[in-house]
Amino acid sequence: MALKLMYITNRPEIASIAERTGVDRIFIDMEYIGKSLRQGGMDTVQSHHTTEDIRAIRAVLKTAQIMVRCNPIHEKTEQYPSSQEEIDAAIAAGADILMLPYFKTANEVREFIRLVDGRARTLPLVETPEAVACIDEILALDGLDEIFVGLNDLSLGYGMKFMFELLANGTVECLCNKFKEKGIPYGFGGLASLEGGLLPGKMVLKEHYRLGSSCVILARSFCNTAIVTAPSEVTRIFEEGLAKIRALEKECVEHRMEADYFERNRIDVTKIVKEIIGT
C-alpha cells in the first residue's frame, strides 16, 4: 500500500493543489505552547494555525483528510483554552485526525483519547525520550488509531546533532517493530524531494518501506510556498515530486522480497549519517 502523504498548509489554494496532485492528508498545525522554546534556533515549521484554518481547508477539500496537530495536554489559562475546548473546536471545524504532540507519559495519551472520545482518529506523536521509555504502556491503551515518531524534537531530547541519527542507530526501527507487533499503523519523520536533504529523500523513503511505515510528512523543503508563489509552479513541483515518489514506491514494492535491496540502503544511510555527525 502506498504511503499516505501529508503536507502542512493553512492556505486553501495550496491545499487544493496538494489534494489534486495526490496528497492524502492536509496537515493543520495548531501547536504553539512551548514549541518555540524547545525548537529555538532550528529551521523548523512553527505554524500556529487556528480552527478557522480548519474550516477554510474543509470547505475546499474533496477527498483528502484533514489532520490537526493540537497542543500538548493542558489546562485553560488566560492565554489559551483548555485541551478539551481545543479538541472539541477542532473536531467541530472538520478535523478527521487529531495528533497529540510532546507527551511524556501514558496518562497524557489516555487523557487525549478520552477527550477525542471516538469523534476523530487519534494519532499520538512520539517525540520525547520519556515517551519512548514508556512506549509499551502507551501501546497497551485502547483507542490508539495510529502513531507517529517525530524526529526533530526526539533527536533534540536525546541531545543529537542530526535528526536522522534516530534512523541510523536503530531507535526508529525498534519503535516500528513495537508498533507493528500491536497492529497499529505508523509513520515517522519528514520527506524532502528524493534528491534533496542532507540525507537524500530517496534513501529515507526506502527506509519507510523497509520498516513498514504507512505515512510520512512532506517537508517544507519539498515545496516551500513562502518562496514559490506562482500556482502553476507549485502545481508543477507537486506533480513532478509526487510522481517520483510513487515511482520509487513501485520499485520498493517490486523488490520487497529482496532483503539485500533494503539492507544496502540501510548500510548507506548509516554511513552518510555518521559522516554528517562526524563519527
Instruction: Give residue-wise pLDDT tens across range 60-86.
Output: 999 999 999 999 999 998 888 999 999
Q: Which amino acid is at 15?
A: A
Q: What is the pLDDT of residue 40?
A: 53
Q: What is the pLDDT of residue 39?
A: 55
Instruction: Give residue-wise pLDDT tens across range 110-160.
Output: 999 999 999 999 999 999 999 999 999 999 999 999 999 999 999 999 999
Q: What is the mean pLDDT of residues 184-194?
A: 95
226 Cβ partners below 8 Å, 6+ apart? Answer: none
Least confident of 26-35, 205-214, 262-271: 26-35
Asked if 83 contacts 106 with a C-beta cutoff of 8 angstroms, the reply is no
Q: What is the mean pLDDT of residues 24-46?
A: 74
Q: What is the pLDDT of residue 185?
A: 98
Q: What is the pLDDT of residue 48?
A: 82
Q: Name the band, by pLDDT with cuts 50, 70 and 90, for residue 268.
A: very high
Q: Is 63 exposed, middle or buried (0-12, 13-18, 19+ CB in 10 A)?
A: exposed
- From the list 153, 159, 149, the residue with the least C-alpha distance to 277 is 159
Q: Name the band, by pLDDT with cuts 50, 70 and 90, for residue 38.
A: low
> Cα separation of 92 and 114, whole Å?
16
Q: What is the pLDDT of residue 45?
A: 56
Least confident of 32-36, 50-54, 122-126: 32-36
DSSP 165-183: HHHHTSHHHHHHHHHHHHT
Q: What is the pLDDT of residue 34?
A: 79
Q: Is residue 52 pLDDT above 90, yes or no?
A: yes
> Domains (ranges, CATH) in the chain?
4-277 (3.20.20.60)
Q: What is the pLDDT of residue 36?
A: 63
Q: Is 59 exposed, middle or buried (0-12, 13-18, 19+ CB in 10 A)?
A: exposed
Return the number of other C-beta atoms located less than 10 Å from residue 199's C-beta. Answer: 21
> Cα separation of 204 and 155, whole Å?
16
For residue 207, the cross-strand partners are: none
Return the number of other C-beta atoms located less than 10 Å from residue 248's C-beta. Answer: 16
Q: Name the band, by pLDDT with cuts 50, 70 and 90, for residue 109.
A: very high
Query: Is the whole model's pTM more than 0.85, yes or no?
Result: yes
Q: What is the pLDDT of residue 217?
A: 97
Q: What is the pLDDT of residue 189?
A: 96
Q: What is the pLDDT of residue 46?
A: 55
Q: What is the mean pLDDT of residues 21-48?
A: 77
Q: Taking all residues of the chain, what is their mean pLDDT, rounded to a whole number? A: 94
Q: Name the band, by pLDDT with cuts 50, 70 and 90, for residue 37.
A: low
**What is the three-class DSSP state of 30?**
coil
Q: What is the pLDDT of residue 53?
A: 98
